[in-house]
Structure formats: structure tokens, C-alpha cells
Amino acid sequence: MKRITIIALLLSALVIGCKKKEETPSITITSDYIKDIVYFLASDELEGRNTGSEGIEKSATYIETKLKDYGVNPYFDTYRDNFKIDSLDAFNVVGFIEGSDPKLKDEVVIIGAHYDHIGRRAKPVEGDSIGNGANDNASGTSAVIAMAKYFAAKNNNKRSIMFALFSGEEMGLKGAKHLAERLKNENLNLYTMVNFEMLGVPFPDRDYQVFATGYDLSNMAEVLNKYAGNKLVGKSDEAAKFNLFKRSDNYAFYEHFKKPAQTISSSDLTNFDFYHHVDDEANIMDYNHMASTINNLFPALEGVINASSQEIKMNDE
């Protein structure tokens, strides 16, 4: 009887273990998955995704469909966060996964990127006038979409996660400024904001995959590297030189919340020659690099989101 009882207990433990594995599946993003997203967003059909254009409308609908398919809910009544740029109708796309922990779910981690670009250039280059914006910033947008897929499938985030895709970035960070102000007025309990920008090409000679803008302002890189298990995030002197911390959508959240809000990127103007150029095309992106970077970011962000305390802090605290 004792042997039967022990066997039964072992079988029961095995079944419970299998259920736990099913509840937290292993998710890996492929280069083909990323490639499909970037090729769509950077296609000539979308004409450079200028805010207010038919192309950005198609882009937003594409992103909304992805979020809905993954089971990510709208944060507002719909996925769209509407605002005006002078007389121009603009909109961010915002999804949300509520946290599972009774206390930690009140803290929100924002994962963001801008999905707009510059549209058509006034002066064509060799007959091409479309600024397709593959690196800037279909690449970052693909990372946010991949993150939405990952966390929706894992379904184990203790803190709440907001996925924010901004428009109006190329017009002066307008979408991020609007959303940051709106969320601040609504008393959102922001823990940290991680923004993705220009992840499409690797560095040839660095000992890290990506850098964090505003590196010295917080310990974000240190914490992400701890959960990644390697030196995933480093410091770029070029990024500091050009003050890239203030030149992307993270900055509005830092200004309004005074919380760690930084951009993660693998292009600091030294390793990409086609910034705001018609040759920023999908066919020159490195999709193996992008998939590797995003897969390494998964455990890094998951660790941040599920940690029992707020480990990322401003360095002046």
C-alpha cells in the first residue's frame, strides 16, 4: 500500500508539473516573424506612414489586429488614443494586459515605440521619394508587437503592461507627449517605461547588443542585464553626445512622471547611413539580429515586470 501511495504522489506531482509548464509556455520569436511585420510596415503601399496619412491608418489597423489576435485588450474604449496636431487628426495605438498580482498589478510598465515615419520626401533620390522607415521605426514597432505576443501567451505578468505605439514622433514626439500627459492626469502608477527605437542593424564591434539612452540616469541597463544573464545593454558615447535620450518617445514619460524612462536601440548614428533616407528599406535589415535581440529582451523585461520590488531606480534617488 505504501509503494502504491508513493507512486500515486509522484504521478500527481508530474501532472501538476506538466500543467505548470503548459501555463507558462516557452515563446521564441523567429526572424521570419519579425521580417513579415517590418516588410508590411515599410512597404511602398504605406507611403512612409506619415501621421495623418492613409498609410498610418493602415498601419494602425494592422497593429490593432495583431493585438486583438493575441488577446491584448484596448487600454481605452478602443485601441486608439486620439489627439490633434493643429488641425490634423492623429492617434496612438494602446493595448493593455492587467497584472495578476493583487498589489503589483497597480504598477504599470509601458513598452513603447513610434510607428509613424516621414512619409514622402520633397526631393526624390533616384526616382524614389518614399521614406519607408524600416529601421526608423518599423523595427521598434515589431519589437513591441512581439512583446505583446509574448506576454499575452505567457499570461504570468504580475505588474500590468501597457503597449504603446506612438504617432506624431517625427513631428516632435507629439503622440508620446499627449499620452504621457493624459496618463499623468489620470494618475497612472507608472513604474518604468521602455521604448524601442531603430533595432534593425547590429553594431559590428561592441560588447553589447543594444544601448540605453540616458544610460547614467538610472540602473535600467544593470537590471535588464541581470535578468538577461549577459551584457545585453550597454552605454553608447555617441548616444550621449547627440543627447538621444531627449530625442525619442521615452522623454515625455520621464518629464511627466520623473521615473526611469529610456530608449533601447542598436543604432546610434554610427552604424546606419540611411536615417530619414529613402534607402531605409526592409531588405537591408538584419532579421537574425533583431530576433536575437528581442528574444534576449523577453526574460529581461519579464524579470522586471515580475520582480517583488521596483528594482529600476533613478540614480539620484
pLDDT digits (tens, 9 = 90+) for 282-293: 999 999 999 999
Among residues 69, 188, 165, 56, the alpha carbon closest in space to that of 117 is found at 56
- pLDDT beyond 90 at 213: yes
Residue labelled with grid coordinates 490633434: 84
Q: What is the pLDDT of residue 123?
A: 83
Collapsing DSSP to helix, strand or coil, 269 comes out as: coil
- pLDDT beyond 80 at 247: yes
Average pLDDT over residues 33-48: 98
Contacts for 242 with CB less than 8 Å, ≥ 6 apart? 268, 269
Q: What is the pLDDT of residue 20?
A: 44
pLDDT digits (tens, 9 = 90+) for 256-282: 999 999 999 999 989 999 999 999 999
Which DSSP helix (H) or strand (E) runs through 287? helix 287-306
Q: What is the pLDDT of residue 22?
A: 47
- pLDDT beyond 50 at 2: no
- pLDDT beyond 50 at 214: yes
Q: What is the pLDDT of residue 217?
A: 97
Amino acid identity at 274 = F
Among residues 274, 273, 281, the alpha carbon closest in space to that of 132 is found at 281
Distance CA 101, CA 284 (A): 42
Contacts for 63 with CB less than 8 Å, ≥ 6 apart? 79, 93, 115, 141, 145, 165
- pLDDT beyond 70 at 31: yes
**pLDDT category, 25, cuts 50, 70, 90?**
low
Q: What is the pLDDT of residue 308?
A: 98
* Domain chopping of the chain, boundaries: 27-306
Distance CA 132, CA 295 (A): 25
Percent of the chain at pLDDT above 70? 92
pTM for the complete prediction? 0.92
Average pLDDT over residues 99-112: 98
- pLDDT beyond 70 at 248: yes
Question: Which CATH class name applies to 27-306?
Answer: alpha beta
Average pLDDT over residues 245-251: 98
CB-based contact 262:236 (threshold 8 Å): no
Distance CA 2, CA 90 (A): 70
pLDDT digits (tens, 9 = 90+) for 191-201: 999 999 999 99
What are the C-alpha distances in Å from 209 to residues 218, 231, 265?
Answer: 19, 8, 9
Q: What is the pLDDT of residue 282?
A: 98
- pLDDT beyond 70 at 21: no
